[in-house]
Homo-oligomer: A and B are copies of this chain.
Amino acid sequence: MFTTSALAPAKFVLGDEGMYLFNDLPTGLLKERHGFEPTAAWADHLRLSSVRFNSGGSGSFVSSDGLVLTNHHVASDTLHKLSSPERNLIDDGFLAKTNEEELAAPDLELNQLVSIEDVTGRVNEAVDDDASTEDAAAERRAIIARIEKESLDQTGLRSDVITLFGGAQYHLYRYKKYTDVRLVWAPETAAAFFGGDADNFEYPRYNLDATIMRVYEDGKPAKLEHFLKWSEVPLSEDELVFVSGNPGRTQRIYTVEALKFLRDDRIPYVLDFLRRKEILMQQFGLEGTEQARRARDELFGIQNARKAYTGMLGGLQNPQTIATKSTQQAELLRMINNDASLKPLAKAWDEIASLQAEKRDMLRRGVTLRSTLFSYALEIVLLAAEDQKPDEKRLRGYTDAARESLLQELYSTAPVYTDLEQVKLADELSLLIENRGAEDELVLKVLDGKGPRERAAELIAGTSLVDVDARKSLVEGGSDAVDASDDAMIELAKTLEAEYRSVRETNEQIEERERQAYAKITEAVTKIKGTGGYPDATFTLRLAFGTVKGYSEDGEFIAPFTNFAGAYQHANDHAGQDDFDLPESWMEHEADVDGDVQLNFVCTADIIGGNSGSPVVNRAGELVGLIFDGNIQSLTSDYIYSDEQGRAVSVSGVGILEALRSIYDAKALAAQIGK
């Protein structure tokens, strides 16, 4: 049974639902329900000890000299980029014995949230009430660019205006950026992702999904004022814990019609897409061990998403889900229609409904070819054109405020594997044909009379964007250089630029209308149910809370904790199956490890993808765990939270310490963390 409401202000929330804003914490609720009152200092310290990874994930500072804890699967993008056939960090793990041995990530950016400012008034004032959708979107984009630019100029901090409650609020987030990030320790994937795709999103689990990095400033380990102390005390059942991280995206505010679009159109489309890419990456990997190595990180990400979306769709396809949501929505609309002052807001639900058909039409219109080299090309072409415009008229991501982060990505020194790129590009061309039709004029132009495979080979052979220097010289040469370039990939990007802009513009107008409608829905709900809730996730810092707690499944009780002894047993139980062999280091040190030490645990905190790597802290603000997964029953939490069986899954803090000390010969590192 599901236990939440469509939009959920605190007092209507049951269980431990909620991903709260750090500038609007549920203090009353926490006090009432858990007898805990977070002080401002407690919250500020936790916020400033938390970081966001631009590779998509969360982390925390865990020492005064710059150590950062995150998941292995958040770090894996970097591990992959730092690997070569000769140095396979993914298979073999890594430990730097000295600072000198630490490996610099080629394109990581870590963000520490320094301040939050509500700029809703300023944004709304700048948008004319009577403006057309197009104008409103342009005005909003302009004021946001202006606010961000001003803030950047004034503070030097990364400044992002975040849209909250679907468009009811706008907050300016200022981040301190760390771009010199180095790898300190990573376990073998066999330990981090023990059980592989089979165990992913399952529980009980036995995964050491942890990696430690270090942030540097001016070439030296950063001196940090805020970092988490590390608890050496095992967790207890029912213990209250907090999660500080960056949940990526939820759709709790979604109306019934919007959920139906997910159920009937978007998720089935995405799943077909993901399965297609999964098979593609598998097939590439079959060509040889080196090819398998090259495809592996992407394959893992695809499989992870495929399993998550499968769970989401399963929940939505259960007729009870929509029935429950429909009942809640009907009740809400009844109350709104009974109140003359609110009644005009009811139209927002109709607007959302009518937008779904437009969103459906756009599903197959995109022209972005998902390959690293094409992305580089398109970004270079767009940047050259956007640079010709005043800052406020530019596309999001191409403003002055965003430039540094964009260049960080464009100038990445990560290897680009052209064989893999070619296979991906061929498939993207094939998908473009399927989506837009084989006789679409643009498609014919793109193919240039060739089949997808032949054309992809030609494009890869004709581009020099593999070289960072080639990218730099095009960026620095600006629109003249881009215009003059006969690089095949740049030419392809120029061919697609106009349609890319048109599709993006249409999508942004749909988003604008959604924002306006959801802002009205939020207004109506707030008026009926009161304030104090939390907005849908936006890959920005949130606080969730919950208790350490097992659950029942098929009549059996699943205990909240697993331990090291269980890991060895699990390997035994699945002997001979892929991904169930513990690495050599674990086998060698089996006698050294205390089997009773907690390895993984579950709690009821409300999390979602993007929370991976989030620190779990106790009342004292000490690190006790590291979020790395949700169980299969939590996969519906994109649109509905339930603590009946849904759980967040973490590596326990004491487990990481035990592994560092007893398995990884990393006592010195273990001694540094938390200090």
Contact = CB atoms under 8 A, between A and B. Distances in A.
A438 B549 CA distance: 35
Nearest to A286: B198
A438 B289 contact: no
A317 B196 CA distance: 36
Given A279-B279, A279-B306, A287-B198, A263 B438 contact: yes
A288 B197 contact: no
A317 B451 contact: yes
- This protein's copies in its complex: 2
A438 B196 CA distance: 32
A322 to B, nearest CB: 7
Given A314-B430, A317-B438, 6 more contacts: A197-B286, A260-B438, A272-B275, A319-B449, A320-B449, A320-B450
A449 B260 CA distance: 17
A319 B452 CA distance: 10
A438 B276 CA distance: 24
Closest 6 CB pairs of A and B: A318-B451, A198-B286, A275-B275, A272-B272, A268-B434, A275-B279
A313 interface: yes
A494 interface: no
Contacts of A453: 314
Contact of A283 (B197, B272, B319): B197
Contacts of A264: 434, 437-438
Interface stretch (A3-11, A378-386, A572-580): A572-580
Contacts of A314: 430, 451-453
A462 B319 CA distance: 21
A290 to B, nearest CB: 10
Interface string A235-276: 000000000000000000000000010011000100110011
Interface of A: 196-198, 260, 263-264, 268, 271-272, 275-276, 278-279, 283, 286-289, 292, 306, 313-315, 317-320, 322, 430, 433-434, 437-438, 444, 447, 449-454, 574, 576-578
Nearest to A323: B449
A318 B454 contact: yes
A300 to B, nearest CB: 14
25 contacts: A198-B283, A198-B286, A264-B434, A271-B276, A272-B276, A275-B275, A275-B279, A278-B279, A279-B306, A286-B577, A286-B578, A288-B574, A288-B577, A289-B576, A289-B577, A314-B451, A315-B451, A317-B451, A318-B450, A318-B454, A319-B449, A319-B450, A320-B449, A320-B450, A322-B438
A329 to B, nearest CB: 16
A287 B197 CA distance: 10
Contacts of A306: 279
A263 to B, nearest CB: 6
A512 B451 CA distance: 34
Interface of A, secondary structure class, is: helix
A577 B438 CA distance: 37
Nearest to A434: B268
Contacts of A444: 319
A577 B293 CA distance: 12
A430 B197 contact: no
Contacts of A574: 288
A430 B279 contact: no
Contacts of A434: 264, 268
Nearest to A435: B268
A319 B451 CA distance: 6
A286 B287 CA distance: 21
Nearest to A198: B286
A319 B283 CA distance: 25
Nearest to A322: B438
A264 B434 CA distance: 6
Nearest to A288: B577
B317 A452 contact: yes
Nearest to A263: B438
Contacts of A313: 430
A91 to B, nearest CB: 12
A46 B603 CA distance: 71
Contacts of A289: 576-577
A548 to B, nearest CB: 28
Q: Which of A286, A313, A322, A576 has the most chain B CB within a 10 Å cutoff?
A: A286
Contacts of A275: 272, 275-276, 278-279
A382 B577 CA distance: 42
A435 to B, nearest CB: 9
Most chain B CB within 10 A, of A198, A320, A322, A444, is at A198
A645 to B, nearest CB: 14
A444 to B, nearest CB: 7
A601 B451 CA distance: 28
A430 B286 contact: no
B449 A196 contact: no
Nearest to A303: B279
A286 B196 CA distance: 9
The residue in A271, A275, A278 that gathers the most chain B C-beta atoms within 10 A of its C-beta is: A275
Contacts of A322: 438
A306 B577 CA distance: 25
Nearest to A277: B275
A191 to B, nearest CB: 18
A288 B580 CA distance: 10
Contacts of A283: 197-198
